[in-house]
Structure 1
Amino acid sequence: MTLTHSYAAVDTLIVGAGPAGCLLAKRLSEDPHHRVMLIEAGGRDNYPWIHIPVGYLYCIGNPRTDWCFRTETEDGLNGRSLGYPRGRVLGGCSSINGMIYMRGQARDYDQWASMGNPGWAWEDVLPLFRKSEDHYAGENALHGASGEWRVEAQRHKWDILETFREAAAEVGIPPIEDFNGGDNEGSSYFQVNQRSGVRWNAAKAFLKGLERRPNFTLVTNAEVDRVIFDTHEAMPRACGVRVCLNGAWQEIRAREVILSAGAIGSPSILQRSGIGPRPLLSQLGIPVVHESPGVGENLQDHLQLRMIYRVVGAKTLNEIAGTWFGKASMAWQYLLSRSGPMTMAPSQLGVFARSTPDQPSANLQYHVQPLSLPAFGEPLHPYPAFTASVCNLRPASRGRVAIRAATPSTPPLIQPNYLSEEADRRVAVDAIRLTRSIAAAPALSRYRPEEIKPGAELQSDEDLMRAAGDIGTTIFHPVGTCKMGQDENAVVDPRLRVHGVAGLRVVDASIMPTITSGNTCSPTLMIAEKAAAMILEEQQWRAIGDTTPARTNSEAVNP
C-alpha cells in the first residue's frame, strides 16, 4: 500500500496499549500541553469474556483478543511447538492473562542494578509498585491503596487446595501471608487483579476517562510496521511510525516514540525499522539504521510442568463443570453475587520453593489448580483431580525472536529454546521429585492422589527429563528481547532509550535483563511507572534548558 497522508505531529507516540502503554498514556498526558497518542493493533476491550475471570478460556487462542503466535518446534520439548498467547486488544495481556498480582523477589531487581542499571534495585522500585497499586487491605509499608491497579483476595476457596498447602508445610514449605514483600518463599493464595469478581485490566485501570483529555488520542485496529527516522544528523532520530490504519499505510509523526508492544512485538518492530542484527536485516533487504545484535535475543520464559493427580473424595471443578446443571449453577452464582468458580483465576494457590537446599532463594513456583485437563482448550477430565503446575523461575536457557519478512503480515520466528541448558533439565527433574514428595505427604493421603501425568512409572533422571519435555508448556511470561544494560548486546540504556538512536524508547517486559521470579504483568507496570517518571523529569530539564540526561553520539553507539 502507499502512504495516504501524515497525521499532525504529537509529542509522544506510544505503540501498544498493553499494561505498559496504558499506564504511560495516563501519566504522560497529565500535562495538558503534552500531546500523547496511543496506538493499539487490536480492538476495544468490549468482548464480554474479557471481563468474566474464567473467560480467559475464550480469549486465549481467539484472534479477537490474541495474536495467536506459535513457537518453533523445540528440541527440549521433544519436537513439539507451543501456542504462544499475546494480547491483541486494549489492555494487552492484562485482558487475557491469569490476573495474578506478583512482583517477584527483591534479589531480581538488585541483580538488574548490579548488571549496570542504577536506579533499578528493589529499594528503588518498591515505591513504584506502591504508587500504581490499589490494595484491598489498605496502605502499609509494602502496599499502596491510592493507585489504579486494583488488587483483591480471591472470592472462592477449595478444600483440596488447602490440603495441598498443608502437605507443602509437611515437607518444609511454610504458609505465608503475602508473596509481594520481596521474599516469596512459602505458600499462599494468589492475590488477583479483580474488582468485585470482575477482571481489572490495564484499560480499565488507566484509560478510563482518558479520552476526554483534549491532548490524548487513542487509535485502535492500527498495526505499526516500523519506526520512521530522520537520518540527516549524526545520530538517527525517531520521528514517527508507519502504520496501517483504515486499510491504508499512513505516517504519524512524533517528537518521541515509545515501543510498548511486548517481548515479541517490540523487537519485531525494531528489526523492521532497521535496528537489529546486521545479518538478519541484510538477509531481508532492510537498510540498517543501527546495528544492534541483541535485538530479539535473550528471550526468557517460565516453562511450566503440569503434573496431574487424580483424587478420591475431593470436590474439584472437573465434576462441577462436567454437567449442564453444574455449569448453570456456576453462572447463577456469578450473576447473583459475583462469586463462585466463575471468578477463578486460572490458578488459585501458589507455592514458592527451592528445588534443592543449595538454591539461594526460591527458584520454583507452583500454580495449583482444583481441576485437570489433557491440554489447554480441551475438556476437563471426567474424574476429580488437581493440577500442580511447577516452573523454573530462573531458567538458564535463552531463546530469540526474529522477523521472517520485512512486513508485519508475516508472524515472527519465536524460538524459546526451552530446556536447552543442562541446569534447566536438572531443575525440571528436581521439581518433579519435589511435587511427588508433596503429593505423598500425610495431609493429602485421605484423597489418595494418583499421578496421571507424567506417570508414577517414570523414575530415572533420564525418564523424568524426557517427561519434562512431554508435559512442559509456556506459562506466558516472555521477557528480555530488548534487554536493558550497557554491554554490547544491550538494546536500551537504564533510562530505556534505545542505544544508537535518539527519540526512541522501549518500555515493556522486553527490557528485563533477567526474568523476574514470578508472574510478569505487574513488574511490567512498574517498568512503565519508572519510565514515565524519567520522561517527565527529562521534560522538566528541557523546560529549563538543562541537557543533563542527554547522551552524546559516542555514548549511544558505544554504551
Structure 2
Amino acid sequence: MAMGGELSDYIVVGAGSAGAVLAARLTENPAIRVTLVEAGGEQNNPWIHIPLGYGKLFRNPTVNWMYSGVPEPGLNDRVIYHPRGKVLGGSSAINGLLYVRGQREDFDHWGQLGCRGWDFDGVLPYFLKAERRIAGGNELRGGNGPQPISPPTVGDELCDAYIEACRQSGLPLNPDFNGASQEGAGYYESTHLNGVRYSTATSYLKAARKRPNLQVLTHALVTRIIFEGKRAVGIAYERDGQRHELRAGREIILSAGAIATPQLLELSGIGNGERLQSLGVPLVHHSPDIGERFQDHLQVRTIYESKTGNTLNARYNNLFRRIGIGLEYLFKRQGPLTVSAGYAGSFYRTDDRLETPDIQSLFIIFSLRKMGDRFDAFSGFTASYYQLRPESRGHVHAATPDIRKHPAIFANYLATETDRATNIAGLRRLRAIMREPAMAAHVKREVEPAPGTESDEALLAYIRATASTVYHPSSTCAMGPNDTDPCDLQLRLRGVSGLRVCDASVMPAMTSGNLNAVAIMIGEKGADLIKQDS
C-alpha cells in the first residue's frame, strides 16, 4: 500500500461547497499544511461553467454520483434520484446556482435547540465574510467576500408577469430574499458572475491552489478513516487503481456531504453497532444517530403552456433561435443560458397565523416532464414550490461494506400530517397565483396538474405521483449539545478524537431555502473553529 504524499496537518475529504472553503481558509496560514481529497476530477466539462448547463450535468457520471434512494411510501413507493457533485466544487459545480441563506428564525431555532454560537447573530458574520454581492453589501449582506452573488443578467417578461401576479395575490415585492425579510416575490440571486458559474472551486479554491501548503488530490476515493484506538490518524484511498494511505498530524475533516459522509463514517466503524456488525465492519465507536435525522426538500411542479413563443422551449426547439441562444451567450454572456434553476420566485405563507413563510416557489421559463429530459415540444413554463421546514425525517446508511456501492437513502417524504397539509395548501396557493390576471394573460392552458384537480384528495394524489427532491440533503450527522448528537458544537465527532464533520450533515434542522449558501457558511465558520482549537 503506497503512501500518498507527505504528512499534512489536516486532511479535508470532499472539495464541495464546504470542503473547498475549508481548504482555502485553513491554508491562509502558511504554517498549516492541508491535503484536500476529492473523488471527482477537475472542472473540465464546459457545461459546468454555463449556468443553464446544470441540465447537461444532471445524469453525467463523470461529474455526478447519481445516487438513487429506496422506495418512498409517501410517494407511491417511487424511487427518487439524488444527484450530487463528483468534481472539484462538489454540488456547487452542478447545482441550479440559487443563493438563498434562509430565515433569521432558522438559525435562532438552531440556538434554541442548544447549538450556541449557531444562532443568527453567530452565523451572520460568516455569511458576510463569504459574500461578494454584486448589488452591494450592507449590514446584512457581504460585499467583499470570495463568492460572487449576482442578479439575473437580464429580466424576462414572463418572470415580470409572475412577480406581478404574486403582488396581485397580496404578496409584497422583495428585492432581496436574503435581506431583512424573506417574504415576497422577486428575482433570485445566484452564484454566477457575468453569466459564468462560480462554484466554490472557482471562488475559493482557484487562488488557494497556488499556495505551497495546499495539496489537492483528485480522482481519489476515500475508502475508510484510519484509527489508532479511538483517534483518527489518517485515511485510506484509491487512485488510479492503487491503494494509498495518508496521515494527518492534527485532524481529519469530512466534507463529503450529507449522503457520503455518514456512509464513510459507518464503513470506518462509527455508527450503530448492530448495523455495523451486520455489514461486517469492526466497531470503533457506537454512535446510533449517524445517518439518522435525514431531511430533504420535496418539490412539486406545475406546468403551463404559453399563449406565445416567449419561452425557452419555443426558442430552443427552433434551430435558428437555438443558434441565436448560443451566440447571445458566446458574445454577451447573456440570455437563456445564464438562467438558474429559479429565475424568479416567491416565499409565502400557507396560513396567515404563521410568522414567516413556509413555502418557497420557483418560476422558470421552460418546461419538461422531469429534470434531465428534453424540453416539452410546446411553448411551456414551470412554476414549482416546496415546503421549507418539513417535519419528516428519514435516514442514509451504508447498504454494503463496499464504499463504491450507493448507500440506502430514505427521506420519508410526507410522513406527517403537517407536511401533507402544507403541501396541499402550497399547491393550492401557487395555482391561485398563476390564475391572477398578470399571469393568466400568458397562460394558454394548465398542463399539470390536469384540469379538475381541485379537492384535497386529488391534490395530494398528484403530489404523491409527481413530486421529487429539489436536492437539499441535510442533517445526517447533526450537531447538538447532547451526548446522543453525533457532533458537538465545534463539529467534532463525539466519542473519538481527531475527526470533525463540516458540511450540511451537521445541520440540526433544515433551513428555509436552498442549502448551498448554508454549506458555504458552515465551511467558513468551521474553518474558524478549527483555527481556534489549533
Match of 1:154 among 149, 152, 155: 152
Q: CA deviation at 1:360?
A: 2.6
Q: Residues 472-530 of structure 1: CA distance to partner in whole angstroms, max 9, x if unpaired?
A: 01111000000010235411011000011111000000100101100100110101111
Partner of 1:230: 228
Contact map agreement 2:342 2:364 (CA 8 A) in 1: yes
Distance in 2 separating the partners of 1:406 and 1:7: 27
Partner of 1:446: 441
In structure 1, the gaps of 5 or more residues are: 540-559
Q: CA deviation at 1:405?
A: 1.4
209-218 vs 328-337, greater mean Cα deviation? 209-218
Contact map agreement 1:160 1:314 (CA 8 A) in 2: no
Match of 1:219 among 217, 235, 245: 217
Partner of 2:502: 507
Match of 1:109 among 107, 112, 115: 107
The number of residue pairs the alignment matches comes to 533
Aligned letter for 1:498?
L
Where does 1:152-551 land on structure 2 (aligned, <5 Å)?
Answer: 152-231=150-229, 236-254=230-248, 255-313=250-308, 315-539=310-534
Q: CA deviation at 1:359?
A: 2.2
Q: CA deviation at 1:34?
A: 1.2
Q: CA deviation at 1:79?
A: 2.0
Q: CA deviation at 1:30?
A: 1.4
Match of 2:12 among 14, 23, 26: 14
Contact map agreement 2:305 2:379 (CA 8 A) in 1: yes
Q: Residues 212-261 of structure 1: CA distance to partner in whole angstroms, max 9, x if unpaired?
A: 32211000000011111111xxxx11101111122122110002000000
Task: Evaluate the alpha carbon distance shift between residue 6 and residue 200 of structure 1 in structure 2; reply closer, same or farther with a 3 A threshold.
Answer: closer
Q: CA deviation at 1:209?
A: 3.0
Distance in 2 separating the partners of 1:449 and 1:303: 27
Aligned letter for 2:388?
L
Secondary structure of the equivalent of 2:201?
Answer: helix
Distance in 2 separating the partners of 1:309 and 1:371: 9
Q: CA deviation at 1:157?
A: 2.1
Contact map agreement 2:304 2:443 (CA 8 A) in 1: no
Task: Evaluate the alpha carbon distance shift between residue 6 and residue 342 of structure 1 in structure 2; reply closer, same or farther with a 3 A threshold.
Answer: closer
Contact map agreement 2:111 2:119 (CA 8 A) in 1: yes
Normalised TM-score (structure 2): 0.98
Aligned letter for 2:460?
M
Distance in 2 separating the partners of 1:489 and 1:267: 15
Q: Residues 451-484 of structure 1: CA distance to partner in whole angstroms, max 9, x if unpaired?
A: 2112221222111111101120111100000001
Normalised TM-score (structure 1): 0.93
Contact map agreement 1:156 1:341 (CA 8 A) in 2: no
Aligned letter for 1:415?
F
Q: CA deviation at 1:314?
A: 6.0
Secondary structure of the equivalent of 1:381?
Answer: coil
Q: Residues 27-47 of structure 1: CA distance to partner in whole angstroms, max 9, x if unpaired?
A: 111111211100000000111
Secondary structure of the equivalent of 1:387?
Answer: strand
Partner of 1:60: 58
Aligned letter for 1:307?
T
Contact map agreement 1:12 1:257 (CA 8 A) in 2: yes
Contact map agreement 1:314 1:447 (CA 8 A) in 2: no
Contact map agreement 1:454 1:471 (CA 8 A) in 2: no
Aligned letter for 1:92?
G
Secondary structure of the equivalent of 1:249?
Answer: strand
444-453 vs 125-134, greater mean Cα deviation? 444-453
Contact map agreement 1:397 1:419 (CA 8 A) in 2: yes
Q: CA deviation at 1:182?
A: 4.8
Secondary structure of the equivalent of 2:459?
Answer: helix
Q: Residues 80-139 of structure 1: CA distance to partner in whole angstroms, max 9, x if unpaired?
A: 112100000000001000111110000000011111111011111111101111111223
Contact map agreement 1:484 1:492 (CA 8 A) in 2: yes
Distance in 2 separating the partners of 1:411 and 1:202: 25
- Counting aligned pairs with the same residue, the percent is 40
Q: Residues 270-296 of structure 1: CA distance to partner in whole angstroms, max 9, x if unpaired?
A: 101111111210101111111111111
Q: CA deviation at 1:397?
A: 0.8
Contact map agreement 1:152 1:194 (CA 8 A) in 2: yes
Query: Please, what is the CA RMSD of the aligned residues?
Result: 1.3
257-266 vs 382-391, greater mean Cα deviation? 382-391
Contact map agreement 1:159 1:314 (CA 8 A) in 2: no
Q: CA deviation at 1:384?
A: 2.2
Distance in 1 separating the partners of 2:439 and 2:212: 59
Where does 1:37-116 land on structure 2 (aligned, <5 Å)?
Answer: 37-116=35-114
Secondary structure of the equivalent of 2:115?
Answer: coil
Distance in 2 separating the partners of 1:99 and 1:445: 28
Task: Evaluate the alpha carbon distance shift between residue 314 and residue 164 of structure 1 in structure 2; reply closer, same or farther with a 3 A threshold.
Answer: farther
Aligned letter for 1:239?
V
Secondary structure of the equivalent of 2:527?
Answer: helix
Secondary structure of the equivalent of 1:464?
Answer: helix
Distance in 1 separating the partners of 2:270 and 2:180: 36
